[in-house]
Structure 1
């Protein structure tokens, strides 16, 4: 997979190499070494305080309360934690040292049912041993709405996109139903199917390759934060 996490040689050439290994059981982009024991039960993070450590300030820029789910790589059936954020509000989501995984939109009815649900926009986060955090937006597993990520270390680094038209303008031929019934843009992970359905060309035409991973073969839209803290904004989407 083409990314900072799966192409170690690319990182070495940019002096930003991370000592992560690719898991053969998880084909998602930025796949890191998986945990041997996944979380048995998802934990609500609604009341977790910000103690100054690693984590995400998640802003819900949608027009109603939304829930967001944290998955560690290799643990697709049970999220590690989740939280709900009112429309227009921001909540802090602490992350443990060495976290490697994603944050996605969802609903408690679907994401807590014990099954894997991967279709949608992924906010991918990796924390290394030096205290540096790495982040990107990936559409390789689908797209259910816009997301932006900004480093909270004062560097000004940011990535992602806020254009709702990317999803709203998509034709039926490149859409797929999520378990909730909401329609999302199809995954591009299967590149042959993606080419046949014009998903990659549609996303590339809308976004280019600089703000999100839209397939495994173009771009490297990754940012870092020296304090492992990021500001994440989820725009109107389809959980």
Structure 2
């Protein structure tokens, strides 16, 4: 049985599973252990992080308006570690701490209200402590649009998708409302990792299983960066 990079079933929320790479998988359903031992108590503005050559992600806004992006550590769902706002067509580098394991998502000021906001496309990143980073795009917790992820180590390896029709063509029966009132494709798995067939099957018909995690039982769209650096575009 395959699992997305940071997924455990709800039965394992209080445990962690070590992968050969040293990555610790956490849960799309929240819970588990914070990889660095504690959660942030206040989100940091990453506007001035700058690229100092270390681990991190160059975030590009491929949309038509200014958007904000939020960095969450695994199991720290209420308060982001960092956030950054990026103008349309621009990019900013967000540095990641050693052993970071978590996700980057689109969001609004609502993400700073101290409550979990899980619904949406997850860009998942994990650093294993040996200089390598791993990443994937996951739609298990929902889909609020396309994201592509590429390594920034010269290999050109990439994953994710840039097709806007995945969201635009979705039937009404698979939508929920996001925190900003927008339509978001709902999660493909509920409690105990039970698959919501209608949602999973729609996404599979559009993307297959090679570009993003659609459930925990198919595909392995994880890429590895040899220098812990990535480039990502949110569309």
TM value normalised by structure 2:
0.89
Name the structure 1 match of 2:188: 188
Superposed CA RMSD in Å reads: 1.9
Residue 158 of structure 2 corresponds to residue 161 of structure 1: no
Deviations 1:142-175 (A, max 9, x none): 0000000010001110000000000001111000
More divergent stretch after superposition (48-57 vs 33-42)? 33-42
User: Matches of 1:114 and 1:6 in 2, distance apart?
Assistant: 23
8 Å contact 2:36–2:100 — kept in the other structure? Answer: no
Name the structure 2 match of 1:122: 122
User: Matches of 2:52 and 2:143 in 1, distance apart?
Assistant: 32
Residue 71 of structure 2 corresponds to residue 67 of structure 1: no
Shift of 1:36: 3.4
TM value normalised by structure 1:
0.87
Unpaired runs of 5+ residues, structure 2, are: 9-18
User: Matches of 2:145 and 2:7 in 1, distance apart?
Assistant: 25
User: Matches of 2:24 and 2:49 in 1, distance apart?
Assistant: 30
Residue 20 of structure 2 corresponds to residue 17 of structure 1: yes
Name the structure 1 match of 2:103: 102
Counterpart of 1:145 in 2: which secondary structure? coil
Distance 1:151-1:94 versus aligned 2 partners, 3 A rule:
same
Shift of 1:46: 0.5
User: Matches of 1:27 and 1:137 in 2, distance apart?
Assistant: 12
8 Å contact 2:23–2:126 — kept in the other structure? Answer: no
Aligned length: 221
Counterpart of 2:147 in 1: which secondary structure? strand
Name the structure 2 match of 1:83: 84
Unpaired runs of 5+ residues, structure 1, are: 8-15
Shift of 1:6: 5.5
User: Matches of 1:56 and 1:214 in 2, distance apart?
Assistant: 23
